[in-house]
Amino acid sequence: MGDGRLHGDAVTRPGPDPDEWGARMAWRQRANCVGIDPDLFFPGRGSTTRDAKEVCRGCVVRDECLAYAMTARERFGIWGGLSERERRRLRHALAQPA
């Protein structure tokens, strides 16, 4: 999965090589959100996330975006179609023993 990879209950981090990091982040150029106001993906408290999630719905790099957010532990915004609360639930679910 793109930048970070989900393996069972672990998220692996990219290596320290800046060239490797740049290559792993190249997915961003193919994202549906390119050119869209970033504020849409960082709604204020009580605001809807529906429009941002709609942009993510058919995105070809949605998995890479979500993997990035999980690896970076992004605290805010919609990444890979999920809010921070949804990503937190996913992390907890992945941490549960099988």
| Contact by Cβ (8 Å): 74, 87 | yes
- CB of 67 closer than 8 Å to CB of 10: no
What residues does 82 pair with on adjacent strands?
79
Evaluate if residue 10 carries a pLDDT over 90: no
Domain that holds residue 13: 5-95
How many independent structural domains does the chain possess? 1
Q: How confident is the model at residue 7 (pLDDT cuts 50, 70, 90)?
A: very low
Q: Is the pLDDT of residue 6 over 50?
A: no
Check pLDDT > 90 for residue 56: yes
